Amino acid sequence: MSWITSRRRHPAAGYAILFLGLLLVGALYASITGGGAGAAAAPPATVDSAQISQGHTIFLQDCATCHGTGAQGQPGVAPGLIGVGAAAVDFQVSTGRMPAAELGSENPRKPPVLNTAETHAVAAYIASLGGGPSIPGAAQVSESGANVGLGQQLFVADCAQCHNFVGAGGALTYGKFAPALTQATPTQIYEAMLTGPEAMPVFNDATLTPDQKRDVVAYVTGVRSEANPGGFSLGRIGPTTEGLVAFLGLLLFMVLVAIWITAKHGKTKTHE
Amino acid sequence: MSETNGPAEPERQRGDDLMADLAASGSEADEGQARHRVIGTPAPAQARTLLADQSDEPVAVRELPADPEDLPGAKRAERAVAASFTIAMLAGLGFIACYVIFRVHTVNNVLHSNLALGLTMAVAFLALGTGAVIWVRRLMPNVELTEQRHELRSTPENKAAFAKTFEEGAEASQFVKRPILRRTLIAATVPVAIAPVVLLRDLGPLPEKSLDHTVWKRGTRLVVYGTNRPLTPAEFNTPGSSLSIIPEGYADNDDALAKAATTLIKFGPDEIKAPTVMNWTVDNIVAYSKICPHLGCPAALYEQTTHHILCPCHQSTFDAARGAQVIFGPASRPLPQLPLMLNAQGFLVAQSDYHEPVGPSFWERS
């Protein structure tokens, strides 16, 4: 305490407090906005008639209000689900986007309502109505052996325009947005490419092969643990924040230099 | 000092003579004009100074009434102003309270929040303004005051003192005494001053015809950007698909890709509308330039639900289902459409180059 007491009236004390305060705010912000770890998805359960009937029951409870009792959809409210496939259902339900809370321009990610078994049951029911892509297995989304370099090339060519080059997300038209990919599991990223949820374009297996999808998944999940060369991620949205921080930082530096220059009293002599 | 000042002396004398000559000729011209003055125009001013001479009379003491004339009325006005300010204060606090109370996570709540915030803010500003107006009109004195401007010209003493200080400073700084310092300083600053002029060279040369064409030509295969694989309509067959594609053989040629980058979009049946050129599509597959005609950003944020292509730089929005017409933003023309066809092996190829220059306007764009 005496150390602080003796120095608290020092001319530099105010600057030190300001610096510590800025550091604290920055650290808090970084800890709040830090990316979450992606959990590995469970492998899809085997399809059987009991699972389909369980899925039908859950569908009638949680989905049929908007999508119709036969999953035929309602014009202007919800799309028909016949033929969308198990992968689309698993993506929408496991990311919490479905069941939707309200009719908006876009459904945001939220904690899922159904557990994995229930989700797979509904997916099996929808798949039984008519084909569509199925839920990828663990091997299809495994990062081991994936070509991350090619994944980055493909991501930059076809995904980064909306999702940002490290998957930080971005705005689209009329209230829609490309979500950040920081919480998406490898399975969910794979399913999104395969099914094209909401405004996102579809990348079928002929244009982007399963191996190439795995490369993209490996890039998206791998880039999360990339070091930030400057020490702070600054939201990872590119030159805007970096420029702002550089501008404000240099401004502060120049102010301090100006103070230092004018504060040098030692050599000046007063002439009458 | 004396060495450098010596040659300057005759110069100054010559200058003084010149000024005297000019003054003499000027006065003659004035007399001539006065004699031939056009009827109806004002006579030339007699005084040669712009401002009236400063009189020695003291300026009248500013006197403002201590109290308004109508004291009971002023008391009422005071209450009205205080009431207005109180209302403004309450509305301001209400604004903060509304901001805290109303949650805005749904559309309806945003409407309520906006209404409450707008109303409280309007009341706060209105009451503040009303109070200020009543204060000024009813309480403040209505007296016109005149304040004389002081003369703008400096006094001869000030001018002489400045000249003396300047000369002393010039001498003390050694600027006059040490010509090598003076000359190297001038030599140091001249190139820095000329540098921006040299940079103007970057305004040219003009692009001439180099921006009119891209490397696309009849038969060039479309390949996927990143894997360089050619595409068939059977592979690119899911409606809602979108891909970045480039001309085959130019994957490592950034100069070519800067103009030739293209977005390929697959539509569902009957989704493509005029003015899209149907003869340039294959199996509901359309190709548009990826270069925004506004300022050249990659416009490739395709939404498969609305068929909007958004440019991230300035939010220009194009309707991909209707010939990429501009539906929002600063872009002045649609994205150019690349004519597509199939080659003998069934791969997607270009029919020709783009029929108009891609990208932003330039000097010689036809």
Q: What does pLDDT average to over chain B?
A: 84
Q: Which of B285, B246, B283 has the alpha carbon at shortest distance from B262?
A: B246
Q: Please name the residues in contact with A268: beta carbons below 8 A apart, sequence gap of 6 or more.
A: none
- Contact residues on chain A for B301, CB-CB shorter than 8 A: 161-162, 170, 172, 178
What would the pLDDT profile of B127-149 be if each residue is shown by its tens digit?
999 999 999 888 888 777 777 88
| CB spacing of B241 vs A154 below 8 angstroms | no
- Contact residues on chain A for B237, CB-CB shorter than 8 A: 204, 206
* pLDDT computed for residue A82 by the predictor: 87
Complex ipTM: 0.72
Given CB atoms, is B107 within the 8 Å cutoff of chain A?
Answer: yes
* pLDDT computed for residue B19 by the predictor: 46
* pLDDT computed for residue B210 by the predictor: 83
Choose, out of A164, A172, A174, A200, the residue to mutate when testing the contact with B (most B CBs < 10 Å).
A172
Per the structure block, which two tokens stand in for A76? 């202007």
Size of interface A-B (CB pairs under 8 A): 81
Q: Which residue has the higher pLDDT, B18 or A231?
A: A231
The most confident of A16-30, A64-78, B150-164, by mean pLDDT: B150-164
What is the third-level CATH fold of B222-350?
Rieske Iron-sulfur Protein (2.102.10)
Q: Please name the residues in contact with A190: beta carbons below 8 A apart, sequence gap of 6 or more.
A: A87, A136, A140, A141, A213, A214, A217
What would the pLDDT profile of B195-220 be if each residue is shown by its tens digit?
999 988 888 777 778 888 999 999 99
Q: Which residues of A95-118 are buried (b: 16+ CB within 10 A; e: fewer)?
A: bbbbbbeeeeebbeeeebebebeb
* Cβ-contact A20, A110 below 8 angstroms: no
Q: Which residue has the higher pLDDT, A84 or A103?
A: A84
| CB spacing of A199 vs B312 below 8 angstroms | no
Rounded average pLDDT over A135-140: 88
Is residue A43 scored above 80 in pLDDT? no
DSSP conformational letter for B363: T
Q: Which residues of A185-217 are buried (b: 16+ CB within 10 A; e: fewer)?
A: bbbbbbbbbbbbbbbbbbbbeebbeeebbbbbb
Q: Model confidence at B34, in pLDDT bands (50, 70, 90)?
A: very low
Is residue B324 scored above 50 in pLDDT? yes
* pLDDT computed for residue B262 by the predictor: 95
Other Cβ atoms less than 10 A from the Cβ of B296: the count is 17
Rounded average pLDDT over A68-86: 86
* Cβ-contact B227, A212 below 8 angstroms: yes
Q: Which residue has the higher pLDDT, B1 or B341?
A: B341
* pLDDT computed for residue B26 by the predictor: 45
Q: Please name the residues in contact with B94: beta carbons below 8 A apart, sequence gap of 6 or more.
A: B120, B123, B124
* pLDDT computed for residue B57 by the predictor: 58
Is residue A241 scored above 70 in pLDDT? yes
Residue listed under structure tokens 């004195």: B141
Domains and CATH numbers, chain A: 39-135 (1.10.760.10), 136-225 (1.10.760.10)
Q: Model confidence at A174, in pLDDT bands (50, 70, 90)?
A: confident
Q: What does pLDDT average to over chain A?
A: 83
Is residue A1 scored above 60 in pLDDT? no
Nearest to A201 among B226, B231, B302 (CB): B302
Q: Model confidence at B22, in pLDDT bands (50, 70, 90)?
A: very low
Percent of chain B at pLDDT > 70 equals 82
Q: Model confidence at A7, in pLDDT bands (50, 70, 90)?
A: confident
Other Cβ atoms less than 10 A from the Cβ of B99: the count is 13
Q: Model confidence at B104, in pLDDT bands (50, 70, 90)?
A: confident
| CB spacing of B238 vs A157 below 8 angstroms | no
Q: Which residue has the higher pLDDT, A271 or B235?
A: B235
* pLDDT computed for residue B84 by the predictor: 97
Lowest mean pLDDT among A223-232, B31-40, B217-226: B31-40
* Cβ-contact B280, B340 below 8 angstroms: yes
Rounded average pLDDT over A135-141: 87
A5: helix, coil or strand?
helix
Closest-CA distance of chain B to residue A162, Å: 6
* Cβ-contact B316, B294 below 8 angstroms: yes
* Cβ-contact A200, A161 below 8 angstroms: no
Q: Model confidence at B366, in pLDDT bands (50, 70, 90)?
A: low
Q: Model confidence at B191, in pLDDT bands (50, 70, 90)?
A: very high
> Beta strands of chain B (E only): which ranges?
222-224, 242-247, 262-266, 285-289, 301-303, 308-310, 317-319, 325-328, 340-342, 348-350
Is residue A103 scored above 90 in pLDDT? no
Given CB atoms, is A201 within the 8 Å cutoff of chain B?
Answer: yes
| Residue A152 region by backbone torsions, left for phi larger than 0, else alpha for psi between -120 and 50, else beta | alpha
Percent of chain B at pLDDT > 90 equals 56
Sign of CA dihedral A186, A187, A190, A195: negative
